Amino acid sequence: MNAIVSSSSAGRASAMLEKSIAELADVVRQCAHPLSGSASDYDPLMDLGGNARFVLIGEATHGTHEFYEQRAEITKRLIQERGFAAVAVEADWPDAYRVNRFVQGMSEDATSNEALGNFHRFPTWMWRNTDVLNFVNWLHQYNAALPPERTKVGFYGLDLYSLYSSIEAVLKYLDQIDPEASQRARSRYACFEHFEEDSQSYGYATSSGMAESCEGGAVDQLLELQRQASEYTRRDGPLAEDEFFYAEQNARLVKNAEEYYRSMFRGRVSSWNLRDRHMAEILDHLSAHLEKQQQPAKIVVWAHNSHLGDARATDMGEAGEWNVGQLVRERYGEDAVLVGFSTYTGTVTAATDWDGPAELKQVRPALPNSYEALFHETGLPRFWLNLRQDNLAIAQLRKPRLERAIGVIYRPHSERLSHYFHTQLPSQFDAIIHIDDTRAVEPLDRDEPVEDNEVPDTYPSAL
């Protein structure tokens, strides 16, 4: 008898839950902005973010075509209609700066494919894919058509994995402008040579006490470069300022990357926080640099949802982690607009293991009690929600739910543990774009990844 009663109660509870989800899905559907492919689909989003200084546009995976495509379309409108001056992405500074030179017409690269050539470490498809290629082509053509007096739009990297590439860039700059200073820099950076350009070995050896850290030399080199700023930049006007800024950010990256690699062996929270603090710091310096050319500097940021959604609204924040979205919001308030993406099912380009080949993987339907599953219940194939609005849908979405995050690694067999966390969506983002059925990005390269001693991009979090 008890079993029958228990079964009956469970059935009623399940029916009530299904009814409540259906009712909430109906409320969300009424407040949603459907995406039909029309040029006007994102007009309200332009009103939301167009007057901000920073629009941070995420992605729920590192390998979904629609996320890259729609992010690029929104960015084009922000550049054309709202005067945004730069795109800053979750990529290393020297690798992205090669693209920057190309789109601004200062490169020896003949094509966008060549300009993306520095992205040769795992995961190559994250930036070497057809969607990024198309956007770089567009940005190159857009800049070329601008009147001479207009400032060209730039493309910059925020990440910090390129320790040895950045050392090389600093030395190359000083070789050209101040050979004596270059010798001093070589002496300071020589400390890193003992590890054969293997940054993970450096981090392990120094954090375990097997070797002295190179922190002092990295800090001293950045400080000396900064002391010479007025001397180095007075020679050739704006071009000299740009070249110095590029070198200074590389020196800053060396300092921060040195600390990051030591922190990797102290735990995820420490290394994650250092990485996102670095990205927010580079964004601040980029903004200040661009403001010398125009007022104000308006920047679009591209990175994973996990970096750009406010960490305080998620399990990450409860664990002591912060991220770029939180740091930018804390500093700039409503001058920062955070936009996320979600999907219910489809395909994704991802690997099974670190340094593994790019694979076309099936994305499992989202778990129950997730935002993705709720949005699927609306029946809308594509839509976006303004999460700053005050309405019944947004109020009910504040109840914590699961959210999926797929990085460069996707392991469906451990999906709940590996790819989901709890969040309060309206506190995490200012807007969310949901595309129910998505497909994988198309990599430009089909070969195995090139061996490289730098730490793989997004290591160790995969995001």
Whether 449 shows a pLDDT value over 80: the answer reads no
How far apart CA 284 and CA 289 sit, in angstroms, is 9
Residue in the structure block whose two tokens are 């929270």: 269
268 pLDDT exceeds 90?
A: no
408-425 mean pLDDT: 95
* pLDDT at position 301: 98
Q: How far apart are CA 142 and CA 185, in angstroms?
A: 38
Convert the pLDDT of each residue in 10-59 to its tens digit: 445 444 455 588 899 999 999 999 999 998 999 999 999 989 999 999 99
454 band by pLDDT with thresholds 50, 70 and 90: very low
Query: Distances in Å between the alpha carbon of 448 and those of 50, 117, 150, 348, 409?
Result: 41, 15, 42, 18, 16
Class of residue 174 by CB neighbours under 10 A (exposed 0-12, middle 13-18, buried 19+): buried
Render pLDDT for 51-109 as a digit per residue (tens, 0 to 9).
999 999 999 999 999 999 999 999 999 999 999 999 999 999 999 999 999 999 999 99
* pTM assigned to the model: 0.92
pLDDT of residue 293: 79
Three-state secondary structure string covering 254-312: HHHHHHHHHHHHHCHHHHHHHHHHHHHHHHHHHHHHHCCCCCCCCEEEECCHHHHCCHH
> Could you give the CA distance from residue 116 to residue 103 in angstroms, rounded to a whole number?
11
Say what the pLDDT of residue 20 is. Answer: 83
Other CB atoms within a 10 A radius of the CB of residue 147 amount to: 5
- Which pLDDT does position 15 carry in this prediction? 47
Range with top average pLDDT, 5-19, 184-198, 268-282, 362-376 = 362-376
Predicted confidence at residue 296, as pLDDT, reads: 82
Distance CA 124, CA 355 (A): 10
**Mean pLDDT for the stretch of residues 425-454:** 82
Count how many residues are written for the chain.
Answer: 463
- The one-character DSSP state at 24 is H
pLDDT band at 371 (very low <50, low <70, confident <90, very high): very high
> In the predicted model, what is the mean pLDDT of residues 128-137?
98
HSE-CB for 310 with a 13 A CA cutoff? 22
DSSP state of 38: -
pLDDT (mean) for 237-248: 87
Pairing of strands 336-342, 54-57: parallel
Which is higher by pLDDT, 450 or 353?
Answer: 353
Q: Residue 228 and residue 398: Cα distance in Å, rounded? A: 51
- Best CA proximity match to 375, nearest among 434, 429, 437: 434
pLDDT the model gives residue 27? 95
pLDDT on residue 193? 92
What does the pLDDT average to over 294-319? 94
